[in-house]
Structure 1
Amino acid sequence: MKSSKLFIKLLMTLLIAIPILVPFAQKANAETAADPAPSIPHQGTFKGKVLFDNTHGETAGAADWVIDGGFSDFANAIAGQGYDVKELRQTTPITLDNLKDYNVFVLGESNIPFKASEQQAMLDYVKGGGNIFFIGDHYNSDRNLNRWDSGEIFNGYRRGAWDNPTKGMSTEEANSPAMQGVVSSDWLGENFGVRFRTNALGDITSGETVVTPDQSFGITQGVTTVEMHAGSTLAILDPTKAKGLIYMPENSPSWQSAVDQGVYDNGGIAEGAFAAIAKVGKGKAAFLGDSSPVEDATPKYLREDTGKSKTTYDGFSTEGQDSTYLINTINWLAKQEDYTSFDQVTGLQLSEKTVLHDFEVPQNSTEPQSEPWSSPTSGYTWYDSSTFAAGSYGSTKAVQSQPNYTFQHQATLPNQQEFQIRLNIADLQPGQTVANLQVGIYAPGGKQLATFQNNGVWATSAGYSAKFNVTADATGHAHQDLTIKLDPSYTGDANLRLKINGTNSTTEAVTIANVSVEPLPGYEIQVPEQISISDARQAAEGEIVTVEGVVTSNPGTWGGGGFYLQDATGGIYVYQGDNKAGYKLGEKVKLSAVKSTYNDEIELSNIVKSEDEGQDALPAPQVADTVDSTNQGQLVTLKHVRVKNITQTDNYGTFEFDAVHGHTSTRIRVDNRSGVDNDRFTAQYKENNVVNITGVASIFKGTYQLKPRMAEDIKHVYQK
């Protein structure tokens, strides 16, 4: 028996008076520095003010580190602690006047280098009692492809470009206003006693060394883990100024796309702190080597280079004790304390000084490979917002959209019972939000006839509905169902009207009588015709496709609710976040979703419609010599391969090894969520054992790999 599951990615929240800033979906027509800066009022007792920078590329690439976007959970939590929160947006350099009235200034992975005057303004701010939170990322995380990543920007110099901050730039780029006044210096190290290392560690979700609360000013109270998903560490240069609070475990994995060794000193204390603090003059600073713990899954803007949707992840609320640590940090920063260095604090143990390699000396630093790490999209230049795509922050371009509004309801509206009408909106841009909508029903002459149920509560009198917002799904459609009671004494002609921002938009003539209620039909999403998975893999980025296939892996084997789907022509990964939606191995499904690419793997995401078509036979794995571009997303078996180089990649037991046959080597990645962890595998299999391995062919950041789905996918042939 077929069943239908609809996944309608809509934000249709009625506007009510709440003291938080609700993030909307990525906008078709975005904002610039000329628009009013968003702010969030404090809740409860007022404690101070926190300012988030949005003047240095905080929304570049896939980043969306703004208080009403990808950092909204963090910002709202700060407001919940009693702080007014605001965004700094302007086109001029940061000055002390911008900062002096705020207790804390948050720098969320800056991607445009600071001018010397801005560095001086920030230093003066801290010495005078201000506080800065530096949130960085791993080396080579340059999001706008200007060759500078956040760690380098915070440090004050670019790796391998000490003598020339514009190294490799075109004349136009080097002469742009963004690069004027930028000079190389060891600004962070000299003034704050700490420096972001240019390392790149991988996923680390446990095993960290966390300084006890009595040695962290209470910042680590309730904290055992702050997760990293590709990040850097901080070198403690002057322990009287800087103190490490969280350190990565020994044998930490490197980020797979690291351009050098990634991990410099095998992790542990020697690798430097993942999280640190500093005391400078009357003020303080805090540092974090990855933005992943801060972000949430509600990006506001489209990408400035391509105009495509962004995907961010929910680190703040769902991983480790990320949120606890971050809020504790804000509270510590905002608290004025008189000591000016850590050696003045009785009983405080100073951190161990980090031993650096010669290539980490600023003047000796080298560039491991030519930058930027990728070529910019044609026509896009990071320093000129006139080239930014419509829908991105800073762009003045308007995405052309002429929304089409229609009402759906029974032929005659009933006046004796509550009923529903539906507002349908078509021809929107995917992710576009239409705000401040209201619906009303009135008689000729203007008398209001309808009482609306607003957010589950009936209005006390007839009139227009409360204002509401709707956000388009990936197909550009949105809808809102409204529950209504009409004046039971009225029959005859009336008008059904939609207002937007208080202005009349759509009016439809209706008839009211004592008739039975007819329920609204189920909402149907318009999706394209079905194509093969092979054709879907060739579709344009961001295009909605409809495919049919058999589920070949258990949802969640590689995190969230993701699974692989395969038909006779190919296979593909289906990402659905944490929503597992009842899919099962061997289930045949038809679904419509957005074709996208993540870490080089083609996938379907943002599912808009799915139909369960019952159980079906799993496709037979194809026997192959290795994993390559021809078998991506498909079940593959490697026969008579020798196990080599077994390596555990995290503290949960996920591991990798090489499957070698002759001169061919294939990387095998076994996630602990498959039911096989490193300990179980190494108890049964040893180096040089010969096995047959079945799994899904995939790719991760340029590396082809085979991913077994369960213990039964690995079988001994013989031992040696």
Structure 2
Amino acid sequence: MTYNYSKISALVISLGLGLASLSSHGAEPYQWNNTIPEKAPTASQSNGKTVLFDVSHGGVEGNADWVIDGAFSDFADALVTQGYTVQEYRGVDLNNDGTIHFFDDRTPSNEQNEAIITYNAIQHADVLVLAETNRPFTQAEQLALEQFIAAGKGIFFIADHYDADRNLNTWDATEVFNGYNRSDLAKYDLGGEYGDWRNPKMANAGWLVENFGIRFRFNGVDYKQGVSGVVTPNKTEGITQNVQPILMAAGATLAIVNEQKAKGLVYFSETDTPVKWKHAKDQGLYFGGANEGPYAAIAKSGAGKAAFIGDSSPIEDATPKYKRQDSGQTKKTYPGWTDSGNAAVLAVNIVNWLATPESYHYFDNQNGHVTGIPTPEPMATQEMSDPNNGNPWGSPASGFDAWNSDTYKDNSFNSPYGDGHTTPEPDPTPTPNDSISVTQALAAAQGTQFSVLGTVTASVNGIYGLVLSDVNTPETAIYVKLESSQRADFNPELNPEILTKNIIVTGTRNSYMGAAGIRYVTDIQLAPTALSIEQALASAQGEEIELIGKVKSALNGIYALVLEDLTNPSFVINVKLESGQRNQFSPQLNPELLGAQIIVKGVRDQYMSQAGIRQVSTINVVGNNIPEPNNDLSVAEALNMANGTLVTLAGEIKAAINGQYALELMDPSNSATSIYIKLESSQRANFSPQNNPSLIGKKLRVEGMINDYMNHAGVKNVTKLTLLN
């Protein structure tokens, strides 16, 4: 066996993973923690397959340390002896700065979180291990996992007892995997990228059960003697061959809802005597015996597979790598891999099964694929409410915020620093030069003092910071840490009017929230903004001005355009394009520019005998408001796509389906050609024909994934709906 660190560059290219050694921009954060580990067999031992261990969503929170060179070392080593290459998955380096940055992405104002799961980043693997995930998945991430399964791959869900809220953010793995919090409080209807995560109080609702026919229970059970009801191998696809009773050191069980999708591997037998875990928030043990549901289970969902176990203890080992994020103390993990009752054989057998593609899609008693046994009460009454009332497991340490990696202690995973770091002291009397752009600020060295001109586009870290975008290239941005006296006037959460305003920030180049930033801000001033068209028309002839407006039409062929006022379209001005600007900004050559907002800098003059702008030096499109080209599929074309394909299609709304939960979309020219569209909870109020009968006959654009719904060709995981008439 070899521990292979030489393939990391190739891994970065294939996954989008970040390493500081590949980029000087990432030199400060993660200096102690930049080598993403990989364990690989020798070439002669390799089976050509890859297993990813995810640590992008909280697998290293609290005492958890589920990394392949930490408390899952033994598991990873065992897989290498089987011929697997084992890699750690951290996320996607979106800004190519050499590191993976974690940010609070629960609010739409922050779009730079890189600790995310995308299908492109994991598709090279055969198996993905999700261990004690403590941060909820976005809808896009759930879709990525579904695509992974649809491609014939396997996912191993390793959970723990309810309330194993390792980072004290009110989420544990049972809730994250199920797709909803145990609480039904309004705050868990997160909306936006996440959708509604309130407890549906139904066993057949939630992301996990809808895709795999199974859900994790919210129980907490102890049975270190070993759960002994091991199902015979001829009923478990051979996975339980040579498996002995498995210890449960405070764990959860599962409930099978759809026996054709899921079946149990290990249950409490009639002679087992499990007890309530001493720290369980309710009865802990609901029914006992097989009625408590399986401790370990598998699922077959279309082309792919999944496996589940309700405790990490029998799989982990006693070699944690990182310090605790909240306290900086050394972690302590259970030596389950070598303990009596370990799950070593079971875990390896599970990965071997997950990594083997098979053509059958369900457990249907055909060809030896025995169906499962439904759990008699798949959602106990106790599971319909939250004994914690939406509170975290315990009180966070002073200054610790699970959603803010700047508060993590040194040498913990995702912390800004390791040993021996020093925070640079600010110069109490910085002497800035003339204002520079955000682009120039990003290129400046750490510790540089300057004044930066930019546009306020969002909050960052709640009320504590803002995002400053380049005036000319809005996608280029830097974070600004606000001092307490500056937040009321300049943080968008406290002062929404500041959004889109140009400001001049005087401070010191540094990192903030793990990203490029400005700290030690001594002064913030409002900067002059671009003129409206109405104001530009009142400007003196010959004056150089900067103005903003909406592109109304082409003028004089390719040589000019007409710009109208954003608030009063009756005010218009003609803009003469220079020869080097026409290919890019002439509406005749670029009709997609019609309706776009642009900022123009030039000299107030006359053009074509009307008010105009000549000698134009710069033109910049504001934001991302250029309409996308129409590449919509027809319903007929979408019906030819394979399940798991991401599509954008357009058709006519024909009818409501399944009450308010879906609609039928047809080709306008052929009503018999139709597809079902499953609506997300946030979409039903506006797009369900049952709730809005006037929608019948309207044209609708749908963005989602091809997947059967109610035994009919359909689209699920709908990310966007747009009425076209």
Normalised by the length of structure 1, the TM-score is 0.48
Instruction: Identify, as 1 or 2, the structure richer in helix.
Output: 2
Normalised by the length of structure 2, the TM-score is 0.48
